[in-house]
Amino acid sequence: MVKRLTKITKSQQGMTLIEVMIAMALFSVFVVAFVSSQGQNLFDSSNIKNELFLKDLAEMKINEIIVNPPEFRENLTGASKETKPFEDFPDYTYTIEIKKLTIPDLSKLIESGDDEDADEGDAQQAEVQKRVLKAFKDNMEKMVWQAQVTVESKETGAKYYLNTWLYNTKASLNVSAF
């Protein structure tokens, strides 16, 4: 039996120092990769949380504007851009900018009826199309306004922009141009 025990111990010499060092190096690479990925996940989660809060604040201000729209007038565009803090959240500010919709002159897309080869019907049709496009441009610029809300975090400097279209229900439309 003593011979048998000596045989067993000689065949199980154990791991060498090199093998232990390689195993430790592999384990440390795994641990470093795991910890850094977890740190990046935490950082991304906090950024997304801040972005979602900025979005919620911007949506709240846009909804306030939609429910209680300002009086639409020509000097509204210049006077509307002013930065204010939120009452409940002093670390956040918002800026509301209201702009009038501008549409380019679409009547320039219509070929004029001044050509020698053009007959009288084409010239009249082109003139009617120009009047319709001008009436469309004038009426849309009276009816539609754009509102942009910018919410900014004082702490991080992160900004969130949100836009919407506002409709002037009190605008008087001119349809007599047809």
Residue 35 has pLDDT above 80, yes or no: yes
Q: Which domain holds residue 84?
A: 12-167
Lowest mean pLDDT among 112-116, 150-154, 173-177: 112-116
What is d(CA 66, CA 116) in angstroms, rounded to the nearest whole number?
Answer: 52
Q: Is residue 173 part of a domain?
A: no
**What is the per-residue pLDDT across 84-140, written as a single tens digit (0 to 9) for each?**
888 899 999 999 998 888 888 877 777 654 555 557 777 888 888 888 888 888 888
Q: What is the pLDDT of residue 149?
A: 93
Instruction: Quickly count: other Cβ atoms within 10 Å of residue 140's Cβ.
Output: 14
Q: Is the pTM of this model over 0.75?
A: no
Lowest mean pLDDT among 8-17, 95-104, 129-138, 156-165: 8-17
Q: Is residue 80 part of a domain?
A: yes
- The conformation of residue 88, written as its DSSP 8-state character, comes to S
- The conformation of residue 115, written as its DSSP 8-state character, comes to S
What is d(CA 87, CA 93) in angstroms, rounded to the nearest whole number?
Answer: 9
Q: Is residue 51 part of a domain?
A: yes
pLDDT band, very low/low/confident/very high, at 25 (cuts 50, 70, 90): very high
Q: Is residue 177 part of a domain?
A: no
Q: What is the pLDDT of residue 169?
A: 82
Q: What is the pLDDT of residue 159?
A: 93
Q: Is residue 175 part of a domain?
A: no
3 state DSSP class of 14 = coil
Residues 6+ away with beta carbon under 8 Å from 98:
70, 76, 77, 80, 145, 146, 147, 148, 166
Q: Beta strands of the chain (E only): which ranges?
A: 82-85, 92-100, 144-153, 159-167
Q: Is residue 113 part of a domain?
A: yes
How many independent structural domains does the chain possess? 1
What is d(CA 158, CA 152) in angstroms, rounded to the nearest whole number?
Answer: 6
Q: Is residue 72 part of a domain?
A: yes
Q: Is residue 178 part of a domain?
A: no
Q: What is the pLDDT of residue 82?
A: 78
